Amino acid sequence: MTVQIKQAAGALPDDNGHFGPYGGRFVAETLMVPLRELQEAYDKYLSDDDFLNELDEDLRQFVGRPSPLYLAERWSAQLGGAQIYLKREDLNHTGAHKVNNTVGQALLAKRMGKTRIIAETGAGQHGVATATVAARLGLKCVVYMGAVDIARQAVNVYRMKLLGAEVVSVASGSKTLKDALNEAMRDWVTNIDDTFYIIGTVAGPHPYPAMVRDFQAIIGREARAQILDQAGRLPDALVACVGGGSNAIGLFYPFLDDSDVAVYGVEAAGHGLETGRHAAPLCAGRPGVLHGNRTYLMEDDNGQIIETHSISAGLDYPGVGPEHAWLKDAGRAQYVAISDDEALAAFHNLTRVEGIMPALESSHALAYAGKLASTMARDQIIVVNLSGRGDKDIHTVAALEGIKV
Amino acid sequence: MGRITNCFERLKNAGRQALIPYVTAGDPAPAVSVPLMHAMVAAGADIIELGVPFSDPMADGPVIQRAAERALMQGTSLRDVLAMVAEFRRQDTGTPVVLMGYLNPVEVMGYDTFAKAAAGVGVDGVISVDLPPEEAHGLLTALRGQAIDPIFLLAPTTDDIRIEKICAVASGYVYYVALKGVTGAAGLDVQSVADKLAQIGRHTGLPVAVGFGIKDADAAATVAKVADAVVVGSSLVKKIEQNAGQSDRIIREIADVLARMRVAMDA
């Protein structure tokens, strides 16, 4: 097992972007050469000191890294089990982990001479993080967003516009994140010469899953050093929410060789896995091909992608990063699901007990960590990725409670 | 020799180019697809590309996206599309039929099951838009086992190395995407198409079809001067949208567009 995990952490994906049977490049021919060029540029700058120094400087001075690893003492005491540490990605500039990746890809875009940035977004966090770096670098920015998501994330839409981005409403298909991704791909294929597509999660055609993972892995590298410093040992478990899976892989990746650290990815069970109204492809889907990679999907018996449901727009996606599919099959990570109601309870609980308002996405991880902690001993440790802050969700939460803000 | 290769040989001997219409199966309704296919052959189509609807058509423009949505609203599945080909073959055993779509419906059915079923109903070629040769080994093996031609796309961005690699695994014909963009886009540049076709011709003897952005009879005739085949899709599918619910009129107008293209190409 250990040898295989080392491969998972060190050698994958292979040259064509495969994590075992998952990943790859399933795109129209027009994109194959641009993807190869992106791969070559990425490989080059990953070992370029100037690039890495600039990235490091941006992460410290613009994003505000390192983010703290915070021991949630009152909440842990309330649960009466393991000690829970929160990796505070909510404290990053723009309020979520997404900016770690957009800073990296935007620097790459600049090095490649691209003048126009496009992105897809669900909850709007990746769109905001992309519009932010585009504003800073003076690049034109277009963000594709499903019409349904635009309606439920009005604050983030306005933030993107304030930052100078054009937000394009996508009215095809289910009008959510997957359709925004389709539309961004169509833009990219049309404007390939001057445009860089910043994908926000660890999905899409190679090299995106590996590249986004590498930019997000700073979460796990910091957390590993911090827990060794603060607790004197590695944690017993890691917990993170999984939509596409970028915050989760970012936390997990630097720990994959630590075989005593259990790894839990938390999907959105929506109204419940048994209802079919969820967004949990790893827990309740099966492998297929969508958006440039082979991975677990929510699909019907005819291979059509089905509509997903989650209270959290950022988890409302029918696919998942191919490395998660691989980690599931390899048995290195366990994938579980948390319902809308459980996530909402965790949102309220953390806000009241710790004075930290989590994003609804992150609330899924918190809800599972709470369940897990109470089955563990007081001298055990869980690290949860608090991937984003909840300010963007207050309208959703208020509406559910019949309150007009 | 398969129906596709036969078709191109016959046309070559006659000094003509193939006219290849694309329509999405099940649009506007499953019952219209087979009569529409026969009408297109009568109007001068040499090969038919029959679209398999998919929920997430990343390479298609809005016209064909909406066609897929209409077909899926009526439950058109890959199995239904195969049944349509079977029905078409009862009257027409000569015209090649190529299925065009995305990989996932085929992946879910299983490559071998699909290839056998497709061969059984008389499918001649398969285009999977999101399947480059690097990922195609499994499907290629299944298709070749049933003598179905795997047809691949070439694009303006495709370099010599890739042209060589793609043409080495393709058979029947190759499909050159005439512009950087989605189906139905504007901005067709005939000179750049001609240059690229010359480049492709240095790597393969396969016939080259050109599609994406060919809107009318003039464009079809111009492209036919440099290509072996002209593919027309969005401008036909638009007729379906413009005449919603009137299947006789849809069939008549699509046949009319094709007949005009046929005349212009043969002039």
| Chain B residues close to A178, C-beta within 8 Å | 56
- Contact residues, chain B to chain A, C-beta under 8 Å: 54-62, 65-66, 69, 72, 77-79, 102-109, 129-132, 134-135, 152-159, 162, 166, 177, 180-182, 185
CA angle in degrees (0–180, nearest 5) for A309-A375-A234: 90
Catalytic: B49? Answer: yes
Across the interface, do B157 and A179 touch by the CB < 8 Å criterion? no
- Residue A241's beta-bridge partner residues? A266
CB A292 within 8 A of CB A246: no
Across the interface, do B180 and A189 touch by the CB < 8 Å criterion? yes
Q: Where are the domains of chain B?
A: 3-266
Total CB pairs under 8 A between chain A and B = 123
| Chain A residues close to B65, C-beta within 8 Å | 172-173
Best mutation target, B60, B77, B108, B179, to test chain A (most A CBs within 10 A) = B108
Would you please indicate which residues of A are annotated as catalytic (active-site) residues?
98, 120, 387
Q: Does domain B3-266 have CATH number 4.10.520.10?
A: no
State residue A349 phi and psi, 5-degree precision. -65, -50
Tens of each residue's pLDDT in chain A, 405 residues:
233 333 344 578 999 999 999 999 999 999 999 999 999 999 999 999 999 999 999 999 999 999 999 999 999 999 999 999 999 999 999 999 999 999 999 999 999 999 999 999 988 999 999 999 999 999 999 999 999 999 888 889 999 999 999 999 999 888 989 999 999 999 999 999 999 999 999 999 999 999 999 999 999 999 999 999 999 999 999 999 999 999 999 999 999 999 999 999 999 999 999 999 999 999 999 999 999 999 999 999 999 999 999 999 889 999 999 999 999 999 999 999 999 999 999 999 999 999 999 999 999 999 999 999 999 999 999 999 999 999 989 989 999 989 988
Across the interface, do A182 and B58 touch by the CB < 8 Å criterion? yes
Spell A216-237 as b/e; 16+ CB within 10 A means b. bbbbbebbbebbeeebeeebbb
Distance CA A207, CA A211 (A): 6
ipTM of the modeled complex:
0.96
Q: What is the CA radius of gyration of chain B?
A: 17
For residue A189, give the nearest of B72, B162, B181 by CB distance. Answer: B181
pTM across the whole model: 0.96
